[in-house]
Amino acid sequence: MKPIRIFLIAGARPNFMKLKPVYEKLSEQDRFDVKIIHTGQHYDYNMSRAFFEDLNMPEPHFYLGAGSGTHARQTARIMTLLDELFDSEMPDWIFVFGDVNSTIAAALTAVKRGIKIAHVESGLRSFDMSMPEEINRILTDRISHLHFVTEPSAIDNLLREGHSPDSIKWVGNTMIETLISVIPIARRRFEDLSRKFEIKEKGYALLTLHRPSNVDSREKLEQIIGAIRPHAARFPIIFPVHPRTSRKLHSIDTGEIRLVEPMRYVDFVSLQMHARFVMTDSGGIQEETTYLKVPCLTLRENTERPITVEIGTNILVGTEPERISVYMRRALEGKLNLRARTPRFWDEKVSDRIISNFIEAL
Ligand code: UD1
């Protein structure tokens, strides 16, 4: 019998760790012919290749080299390049991950070719249509045949949108499965990192910012940095700067906030694990800190990952300077009073659940 051809399609930094366990488990089975397609949405060494190295992943089988651009141009380029690949290499199924432009571009290209789509990390909703990721999530789910979800809110969202219950599979979080696998190495890495950054366990905070709503306007970014800056004079704050953010940041007074290059995956996990607290507008970091039980101050007004607030260590602080300052002070004094439970299925068996549900659905 001919194997079922499956393309796993990824393009941006947070996709790679979600893909890895799925790739490994699918590849173990002779009945599947599995290929990794890298769209090239992220292309800097630190944003892409370093992740493949850290995760011990094979080179992508196909690299499309789409690169940056406006949303429409980037999405269109990924679609064109992928469609050309489909001219010679037609999969039976594609797997897409998360909510980035590569996710919707791949799904839209595949569905018109009659290729089936499995969406990993389906159903999350921020209910904020000004976020490009929210548009990508809703549209990708609309045209996917299988919806693999990380938390119960996603099931409710998908059902409300009219998706068939049979298509929805609560499997857990593949990003956490990958995280668990690197924790021992990340723990060992801290010795080097603490020397390099002159920090001690729980003696520093970690900051990331890259959401367009926070970093595309200089005024907004300055407001957030202005709230954080005074604390950095007394307590080390390490800030790996995303390429999108660095464009506006160079004209802003960052005081003693320690700006560093985007980090390798294992190093970043290590710094999360050992931080007193983390401040971020990322989706994935809200989840990773919940698993690691490290307090997370989320500098956004909403989250598509409500479980991290309900049972995890996440607090939706927003971006109002006074609130940022108040919560930073509480975090520094250890007065956040957080619950810290691990969401169901956020474990090392997520990809097993995905594969068994996938096989059942074939
Ligand atoms: C994308 C995702 C976002 C995800 C983030 C993680 C979308 C809509 N957004 O946002 O959900 O959280 O990745 O990083 O897909 N750039 C480089 N080098 C790179 C990649 C990007 O310099 O390797 C610069 C480019 O100038 C580019 C800008 O960063 O224009 C933004 O990159 P892009 O991939 O469009 O979106 P992100 O902001 O990274």
- Ligand 1 atom closest to Cα of residue 43: 23
The distance of Cα 276 from the centroid of its chain, to the nearest Å, equals: 21
Query: SS3 of 338, please?
Result: coil
Compute the chain's Rg from CA coordinates.
20
- Ligand 1 atom closest to Cα of residue 12: 13
What pLDDT is attached to residue 160?
A: 98
CA distance 92 to 316: 41
CA distance 122 to 205: 31
What is the bridge-based pairing of β-strands 168-170 and 146-149?
Answer: parallel
Architecture of domain 183-332: 3-Layer(aba) Sandwich (3.40)
**Which residues have C-beta atoms less than 6 Å from ligand 1?**
12-14, 41-44, 47-48, 68, 74, 99-101, 132-133, 210, 242-244
Whether the full predicted model's pTM is greater than 0.95, yes or no, is: yes
pLDDT tens digit string along 300-317?
999 999 999 999 999 999
Residue nearest to atom 13 of ligand 1 (CA): 12
Q: Which superfamily, per CATH, for 4-172+346-361?
A: Glycogen Phosphorylase B; (3.40.50.2000)
CA distance 246 to 276: 25
What pLDDT is attached to residue 222?
A: 98
Q: In the 8-state DSSP scheme, what is residue 226?
A: H
| Positions in the chain short of pLDDT 50 | none
Q: How many CB atoms lie within 10 A of CB 4?
A: 18
Please name the helix (run of DSSP H) or strand (run of DSSP E) that holds residue 198, with its range, or none.
none
Name 116's bridge partners. 93
Distance, CA 12 to ligand 1 centroid (Å)? 7
Distance, CA 200 to ligand 1 centroid (Å)? 31
CA distance 357 to 188: 35
Which among 321, 232, 266 has a CA at the least distance from the CA of 51? 266
What pLDDT is attached to residue 223?
A: 98
Residue nearest to atom 6 of ligand 1 (CA): 13
Distance, CA 79 to ligand 1 centroid (Å)? 17
Pocket test for ligand 1, best of 15, 17, 38, 41 (most atoms within 8 A of CB): 41
What pLDDT is attached to residue 213?
A: 97
Q: Is 45 left (phi over 0), alpha (psi -120 to 50) or beta?
A: alpha
Q: How buried is 287 (Cβ within 10 angstroms: 0-12 exposed, 13-18 middle, 19+ buried)?
A: buried
What is the bridge-based pairing of β-strands 296-298 and 168-170?
Answer: unpaired
Pocket test for ligand 1, best of 15, 79, 100, 285 (most atoms within 8 A of CB): 100
Catalytic center residues: 210
Pocket test for ligand 1, best of 68, 99, 130 (most atoms within 8 A of CB): 68
Write the CA distances from 12 to 65, 195, 301, integer angstroms. 12, 30, 24
171 φ/ψ angles, rounded to the nearest 5 degrees: -115, -20
- Ligand 1 atom closest to Cα of residue 103: 15
Distance, CA 42 to ligand 1 centroid (Å)? 6
Distance, CA 360 to ligand 1 centroid (Å)? 35
- Extents of the domains making up the chain: 4-172+346-361, 183-332
CA distance 291 to 92: 34
Q: In the 8-state DSSP scheme, what is residue 10?
A: E
The answer to whether 4-172+346-361 and 183-332 have equal CATH topology is: yes
Distance, CA 133 to ligand 1 centroid (Å)? 12
Residues 327, 309 contacting (CB under 8 angstroms): no
CA distance 85 to 241: 34
- Ligand 1 atom closest to Cα of residue 100: 15
Structure-block tokens of residue 354:
């995905």
- Ligand 1 atom closest to Cα of residue 284: 12
Structure-block tokens of residue 86:
């489909």
Any residues with CB less than 8 A from the CB of 25 and at least 6 apart, and which? 351, 352, 354, 355
Query: SS3 of 63, please?
Result: strand
Pocket test for ligand 1, best of 15, 39, 42, 71 (most atoms within 8 A of CB): 42
What pLDDT is attached to residue 339?
A: 85
Kindly list the strands in the beta sheet with 237-240, ordered across the sheet, starting from the edge strand earlier in the chain: 258-260, 237-240, 205-207, 277-280, 296-298, 314-316
